[in-house]
Amino acid sequence: MSGSVKNPAQMPLPELLAPAGNADSLRAALAAGADAVYFGGTSFSNRMRAKNFGDSELSDAIRLCHSVGAAAHITVNTRVRDREMDDILRLADTLLGNPDTAPDALIVADFGIAREIHRRYPDIALHASTQTSLSSPADCEILAGMGFTRLVIPRELSRDEIRRLCGSTPLEIEMFIHGAHCVSCSGQCLFSCMMGGRSGNRGECAQPCRLPFGVSRTDGVRIPENTGRKRPDPRNSAQKSGVLSLADMCLAGRIPEVIDTGVRSLKIEGRLKSAAYVYGTTKIYRTLLDERRSATEEEIRELAKLFSRGFTDGYFSQNYIGMASTQVSGDVDKAPADRTSEISRALDERIRANTVHMSCPLTGHFRLTAGEPAQFTLTRKDLPDITASASGEIPQTASGNPISAASAAKNLTKFGGTSYVLSADDLTFDLGENLWYPVSALNDLRRRALAALEEIPVPTQETDEVRKPAGNTEKPADLLHYTPDPTEPPRGKQLRTAEVADIRTLFAPMISPEFLRYFDRIYVPVHSYAEAAEKAKDQPFPELAAVLPVYTPSDEAAEKLLASLKESGCRSVLCHTAGQIHLVEKYRLSADVSFRANITNTAAYAEYRRLGCDRIVLSPEIPPAAVEKIGGGAIVYGHLPLMTLARCVICDGKCPLGNRGGRASFRENSAASPDPALTKKPRSISCTAVLRDRKGEEFPVIGTPAYDCVNIVYNSVPTWMADRSEQLRNLSHLHFLFTTETSAEAADVVRAYIEKRPSARGRRM
């Protein structure tokens, strides 16, 4: 165990954030003690298969959260197109236009959505979804400038990485503690979209990763025994390994360590789960947090009974070898019992408790003397200067039992249905002898005294409110509807750029001058830049630029890479994240943006232009017509990276080539070292393999040896647009990906695009 764990009692207790896919799950989360609940509407939520909430239901759900003192976080975390932006803004108006039903935060993944909502409602708290793929202090600095207040970090970060991030950023940090693991890093999966047209970035993931795949190495090394989950497929006994289907996250056994990281919020995954699951899971974590302890074996068993594919704390603890599941003995497949009645009782109790807690306490004085009107005075306990009185009827002489302090208190303290409370102990009396006063007069006196008290203005106070004002109530005309900004500079010569994974492709005899003349900029891996620049200096070569790793272990390591690029004469760098852009600008290099930023609309494109980016490659999930309208670049050729895996599915952590098998180990060691291994010359050998699905399609997998076997899974066929000359002519920027191609194949691709040839196997956009 690396790092020291402080006494968890010394750390602030983080928020417990529970999921709700429908009204029943929302009630369950609140009944179980969640501090906050996250849920979405029927559109623009990244769990579109959940029932979710209609517009009017959203307001009711937010009111219910606030009635028990819980926060409501609304998910608007899909990527949208320009034509959908007006609908997003109408949803924002529905949510934020009424301060009484405004949510506490919006969870957003699309920088375009964030930009437009923040312009209209600058006071709403924006939380950056884990779909943004951001995780560094540099990322947080950019997010803060965009108006974000919190970052939901990727599941792949280790305990020590989380602790360091919490200590180096003003943003709140939110982390997952329980639920499903996506095998691909969040926001970096195109598998469902490319295989079946259901985009995971738009809330429609079909989970193809849960299907069985066969895996075969292509580097001549025997595959070690796989320790992951097995899912036999009766149609093909050779394909039985669930290599892409990870065990579920469970950090119940590490709660003191989780608290020690300093995170602000702990998130339970499960908007597609039942109310029984939400209630049971939230209740156990509520107990563990309140008692600041780790779960017992019995509590782990209870969590497994609710739902489990096997549990792991793999990334958090760096026990990621195989991401093997913790096997829980006993019957864990039994469906959870119906707890509807228990949920209702617990929720009603929490509402009552919160009503008392949130009530405004009063003191009172009742004066009743012969021959004078009765008088009832109320004073706020918290603000003694706010006091009001009401006068009533003159009392009569009692013919039977006279009024007493006890009998008067029964009516004068009835403030049910209001936000005020008056205890009999806080009520004083000045009662004459042998007097009678009707109950109806007591009630009227109480109502009029309260009405007079409520008319007194309460002085404003400087408070750190959880719920911020709703924002602009009178928006300028130009903010009422979405109009894409003209962000693209005047178009000149069509730009052509290429990413080349292996620099040997560029310097083989089969690469002709025709290939080199076709491109005006070629990106090579950052570790190969110096070597490539040396080889290219005496050749008629286009501009040579560098592409950063998808993930760098730390900002310090990234800066060391950039310093070496600057020294080698590099001028342009292809980035994948906002933080990388920030660091590139720091070294006065030109920042370009890859498709991994998932830009799908003009507002998001404008944000990256504002950050100083020059060439921007848009998401491959939008059609060429949309690319043309926005003005960025389009991938027109290449095997698209479908998944980016922090866990190596090839060697499963037991690599015979010496690779350690995952981003987690590398990031941890690199960040802690004054001389990160990332800056060393990469190994010449990497893990390579193919994944084979049930239909026999083969997907190349390449482990990146320079940063410890992070796996990239590529599409089985390349995107091909050589025969779409009309569309290509209208695009301002063509981008090519060369990954598994030989030099001869790469040269033939360029020739085909010059000659406008169709492909027998390419995937047309």
pLDDT tens-digit profile of 634-690?
A: 999 999 999 888 877 776 655 555 444 444 433 433 333 333 433 444 444 567 888
The answer on 391 and 285 residing in a single domain is no
Helix (H) or strand (E) holding 74: strand 71-76
**Same domain assignment for residues 656 and 687:** yes
The per-residue pLDDT for 285 is: 98
Looking at the fold, whether 654 and 608 belong to one and the same domain comes out as: no
Tell whether 74 and 159 lie within a shared domain: yes
Please name the residues in contact with 702: beta carbons below 8 A apart, sequence gap of 6 or more: 501, 686, 687, 688, 711, 712, 714, 739, 740
Q: What is the pLDDT of residue 9?
A: 63
By the 8 A CB rule, do 643 and 188 touch?
yes
pLDDT of residue 65: 95
Neighbouring residues of 671: CB distance < 8 A, sequence distance ≥ 6: 160, 161, 164, 553, 554, 556, 557
Q: Is residue 334 part of a domain?
A: no
Q: What pLDDT sits at residue 372?
A: 94
CA 157 to chain CA centroid, Å, is 14
Domain for residue 611, yes or no?
yes
The structure's pTM equals 0.81
Residue 442 lies in a domain: yes
- Residue 354: its pLDDT value, please? 83
Q: Examine the domain organization and report whether 67 and 128 are in the same domain.
A: yes
Same domain, 219 and 278: no
Structural domain that includes position 241: 212-245+646-716
Work out the burial of residue 489: count CB atoms within 10 Å of its CB; fewer than 13 is exposed, 13-18 middle, 19 or more buried.
exposed
Among 69, 9, 269, smallest CA distance to 152 is for 269
Answer whether residue 474 is part of any domain: no
The amino acid at residue 694 is R
What single letter denotes the amino acid at residue 748?
A: D
Are 431 and 539 within one domain?
A: no
400 and 516 share a domain? no
* In a domain? residue 306: yes
> Helix-strand-coil percent breakdown of the chain, rounded to 5?
35, 20, 45
Positions in the chain short of pLDDT 50: 1-5, 48, 223-240, 321-325, 329-333, 461-470, 473-474, 476-477, 658-684, 765
Q: Is residue 78 part of a domain?
A: yes
Whether 671 and 707 map to the same domain: the answer is: yes
What is the DSSP-derived secondary structure letter of residue 546? Answer: E
- CATH number, domain with residue 561: 3.20.20.110
Q: Kindly state whether residues 63 and 165 are assigned to the same domain.
A: yes
Instruction: Give me the pLDDT at residue 664, please.
Output: 42
pLDDT of residue 239: 42
pLDDT (0 to 100) of residue 323: 42
- Would residue 4 count as lying in a domain? no
**How many contiguous H segments (helices) and E segments (strands) does the chain have?**
23, 29
Q: How many CB atoms lie within 10 A of CB 696?
A: 10
Residue 262 included in any domain: yes
217 and 285 both lie in a single domain? no
Same domain flag for 108 and 223: no
Number of structural domains the chain divides into:
4
**What was the pLDDT predicted at 660?**
47
